[in-house]
């Protein structure tokens, strides 16, 4: 609580020993319930019909069945989540990367309960308590350790954070209107972000008003076609120069997914990005780093730290695991008054949980060569290799790919069934039935992907998870 508020009634509420004791009691009681969830289990027979009724209601109001028959009960324990039918799953996708600290984490429950005592649920740019700015303040303090990012605008979703980033880039480089992005990128589902993202299905029926030039991303297949890594970098720079020459001073920004998410958990080396970013700097094109999916999951907290690219970044977006979402930018890219605003910036719980998560990321043992992220990535690869050795027919060669597992840190992928789309999707759905929640990524080849809750993972969890995966893959193989 800021010093100026030390005598306010709100401060009395936040410092109340009675309220703190009540919150401690709730956290302890919830923890006791959640601690009884210790392994995957099938649905409870007495809950199946009631659960199906809930699924039918959800499908009716949505207009189609849910992708997975997955409605949580409100309980979970670390990497395990309980569904409304009483079944328990190993959650290895975590809402596509949202629940990095798993289910039922006591510190996040505590933070949310404390936030719930505030007078309002939502905060915005006109009326806000300080929590939104505390989150922004902490985000900036972490970001500027290894970058020039100094200011932060908080908002309600990753797509809106990206919209804000694009507005900042457009304003800085007006009247430039073109955007450069990587092939197979994903930017969100607003009208503009769907146009930037390289997915035909995501923009089906949407009038195209945003002009985008696509660059190839670093993949083994692209490198082989170019004749080697050096040749691929050279050809990519030639293509970028082609765009710049064809549309002089018309590009506002280049969107960099330093690790592609939906595109296939593709990873590129520093020298590739440096070559492209140097060209951006030479031609006054903003370097926009989109880390909405990869933030917190690589060797360091920020992917630009992992790749030592912080000095290049002009605009940066974060979301998913941070609960609150944000756009950061350097002083040079600070927008004029009126460009960025909104009725909502997020809820009290968003900012309380987001602050706690940033503190736990900063103070934990996740990063570096000996951190938990590196450890669990190695365990994942070890178990994929063992599964492939046991069932080589499930892992035929994948065109343009030399490894059966990949990704980086907490972004893990494996490529069964030759990367065949139908079989990979079928494998993910079979895994759900067998007790593991996974998802897919890529655009041919397709991959099974994981975004596991690494801070709450134990080495002993992996054999149980892969037992479920093995049973599921056997169904698809047969």
Residue with tokens 């892969």: 466
The reported pLDDT for the residue numbered 10 is 87
Strands 211-215 and 411-414: what pairing? Answer: unpaired
CATH 3.40.640.10 domain residues, the chain: 122-363
**Which residues does 142 contact at the CB level (< 8 Å), separation at least 6?**
301, 302, 358, 362
Please tell me the number of Cα atoms within 13 Å of 298 on its side-chain side: 24
Architecture label for domain 122-363: 3-Layer(aba) Sandwich (3.40)
pLDDT in tens, 283-338: 999 999 999 999 999 999 999 999 999 999 999 999 999 999 999 999 999 999 99
Which residues partner with 346 through β-bridges? 123
- CATH code reported for the domain at 37-97+366-478: 3.90.1150.10
Distance of CA 436 to the CA centre of its chain: 19
Q: Residue 466's closest CA among 407, 374, 391? A: 391
What span, in angstroms and rounded, lies between the C-alpha atoms of 200 and 219? 21
The three-point CA angle 103-104-108 to 5° equals 105
The reported pLDDT for the residue numbered 399 is 86
Q: Residue 382's closest CA among 462, 327, 469? A: 462
pTM of the model: 0.95
Phi/psi at 35 (5° precision): -65, -15
pLDDT in tens, 84-118: 999 999 999 999 999 999 999 999 999 999 999 99
Q: Which tokens go with 8? A: 């306010």
Q: Which tokens go with 425? A: 């999707």
What span, in angstroms and rounded, lies between the C-alpha atoms of 2 and 235? 54
What span, in angstroms and rounded, lies between the C-alpha atoms of 270 and 311? 13
What span, in angstroms and rounded, lies between the C-alpha atoms of 84 and 88? 9
* Alpha-carbon separation of residue 144 from 167, 303, 323 (angstroms): 22, 13, 20
Q: Looking at residue 176, what DSSP letter applies?
A: -
Sites in the chain below the pLDDT cut of 50: none
What span, in angstroms and rounded, lies between the C-alpha atoms of 466 and 469? 5
What span, in angstroms and rounded, lies between the C-alpha atoms of 378 and 299? 13
Contact 94, 452 (CB under 8 A): yes
Peptide bond into 166 cis (omega under 30): no
Peptide bond into 286 cis (omega under 30): no
Contact 441, 413 (CB under 8 A): yes
Q: Which tokens go with 246? A: 């064809």
What span, in angstroms and rounded, lies between the C-alpha atoms of 243 and 250? 10
Contact 219, 399 (CB under 8 A): no
Going 427 to 432 to 438 to 440, the CA torsion angle's sign is positive
Q: How many CB atoms lie within 10 A of CB 399?
A: 10
The reported pLDDT for the residue numbered 400 is 85
């Amino acid at each position: 609580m800021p010093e100026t508020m030390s005598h306010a009634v709100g401060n009395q509420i936040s410092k109340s020993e009675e309220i703190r004791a009540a919150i401690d009691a709730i956290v302890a009681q919830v923890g006791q319930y959640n601690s009884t969830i210790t392994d995957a289990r099938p649905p409870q027979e007495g809950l199946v019909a009631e659960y199906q009724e809930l699924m039918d209601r959800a499908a009716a109001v949505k207009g189609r069945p849910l992708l997975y028959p997955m409605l949580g009960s409100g309980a979970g324990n670390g990497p395990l989540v309980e569904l409304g039918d009483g079944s328990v799953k190993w959650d290895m996708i975590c809402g596509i990367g949202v629940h990095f600290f798993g289910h039922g984490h006591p510190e996040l429950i505590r933070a949310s309960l404390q936030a719930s005592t505030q007078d309002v649920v939502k905060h915005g740019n006109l009326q806000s308590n300080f929590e939104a700015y505390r989150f922004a303040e902490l985000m900036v303090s972490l970001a500027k350790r290894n970058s020039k990012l100094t200011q932060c605008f908080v908002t309600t979703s990753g797509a809106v954070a990206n919209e804000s980033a694009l507005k900042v880039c457009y304003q800085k480089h007006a009247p430039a209107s073109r955007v450069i992005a990587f092939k197979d990128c994903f930017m969100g589902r607003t009208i503009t972000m769907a146009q930037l993202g390289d997915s035909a299905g995501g923009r089906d029926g949407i009038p195209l008003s945003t002009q985008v030039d696509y660059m190839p991303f670093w993949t083994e297949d692209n490198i082989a076609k170019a004749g080697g890594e050096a040749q691929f970098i050279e050809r990519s720079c030639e293509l970028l120069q082609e765009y710049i020459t064809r549309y002089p001073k018309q590009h506002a920004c280049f969107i960099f997914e330093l690790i592609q998410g939906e595109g296939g958990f593709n990873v590129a080396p520093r020298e590739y990005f440096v070559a492209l970013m140097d060209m951006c700097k030479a031609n006054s094109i903003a370097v926009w780093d989109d880390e909405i999916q990869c933030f917190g999951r690589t060797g360091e907290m920020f992917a630009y730290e992992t790749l030592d690219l912080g000095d290049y970044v002009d605009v940066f977006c974060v979301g998913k695991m941070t609960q609150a979402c944000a756009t950061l930018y350097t002083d040079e890219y600070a927008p004029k008054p009126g460009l960025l605003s909104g009725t909502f910036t997020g809820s009290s719980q968003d900012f309380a949980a987001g602050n706690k998560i940033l503190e736990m990321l900063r103070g934990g043992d996740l990063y570096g060569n000996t951190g938990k992220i590196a450890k669990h990535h190695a365990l994942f690869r070890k178990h994929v290799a063992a599964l492939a050795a046991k069932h080589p027919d499930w892992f035929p060669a994948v065109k343009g790919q030399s490894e059966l597992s990949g990704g980086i840190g907490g972004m893990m992928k494996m490529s069964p069934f030759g990367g065949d789309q139908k079989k990979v999707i079928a494998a993910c759905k079979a895994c759900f039935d067998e007790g593991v929640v996974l998802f897919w990524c890529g655009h041919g080849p397709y991959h099974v992907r994981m975004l596991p809750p690494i801070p709450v993972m134990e080495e002993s969890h992996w054999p149980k998870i892969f037992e479920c995966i093995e049973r599921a893959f056997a169904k698809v193989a047969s």
